[in-house]
Amino acid sequence: MRYRTFIAVDVAPFTRTRLRGLQDQLAPLTDGVKWVDVANLHLTLIFMGEVNEREVVRVCRATESACANIAPFSFTLAGLGAFPNPRRPRTLIAKVSDGADHLAALHAAIEPALLDLGGFRREERAFTPHVTVGRVHREAAEELPAIIQKFTGWQGGETKVHQVHVMASDLGESGREYIILGRAKLTGKTAKSKPMPS
């Protein structure tokens, strides 16, 4: 058995509610977007693709080891955006306004450990932290740039990251379902500020 596997962090309940509200505001403006189910909203760090069931344990252990020296941190979502860009939107995203550097560092810590396992290739494009809120159908591409511009001031709130999830997606009868295969806690120590000189 093979799992369509990825590494992700969850979003806070308040942020999830804000994301659902964003989708509800956007939905009447266009019928050319397939919205991500609110229960499936997350921030993907690394997409691995198909992973053999026997390799999942190794993936989980490698992720745990990589996270052991990373301290918990926070990130904030703010503003609506699109990939590859707002002029040619294929995916609608909630952007990370604060904490992107911490997410990038977490990605950089985990990726080499997974590459060492083999069977996983580094993505060609640079890692850009975001939460996918919807996938754009081709016919909606022309109307979306103006809509995206209207929601640049959207605020999604703060999420505190204490652990990373190894996840799998499965296309069931009711749509795509995500399951957690493993959890890796961030157990590093936060650097203490140096005392001010007297």
pLDDT digits 0-9 by tens, 52-68: 888 999 999 999 999 99
Amino acid (1-letter code) at residue 176: R
| Rg over CA atoms, the chain | 18
Q: What percent of the chain has pLDDT over 90?
A: 65
64-123 pLDDT, tens digit per residue, is 999 999 999 999 999 999 998 888 889 999 999 999 999 999 999 999 999 888 766 777
Residue-level pLDDT at 31: 84
What's the rounded Cα separation, in Å, for the pair 170 and 148? 30
Q: What is the mean pLDDT of residues 178-187?
A: 93
What does each C-alpha distance from 194 to 71, 77, 108, 128, 188 come to in angstroms? 17, 30, 26, 31, 18
What's the rounded Cα separation, in Å, for the pair 188 and 165? 17
Is the pLDDT at 193 greater than 60? The verdict is no
Q: What is the mean pLDDT of residues 16-38?
A: 94
For 44, residues 6+ apart whose C-beta sits below 8 A from its C-beta are 6, 7, 8, 132
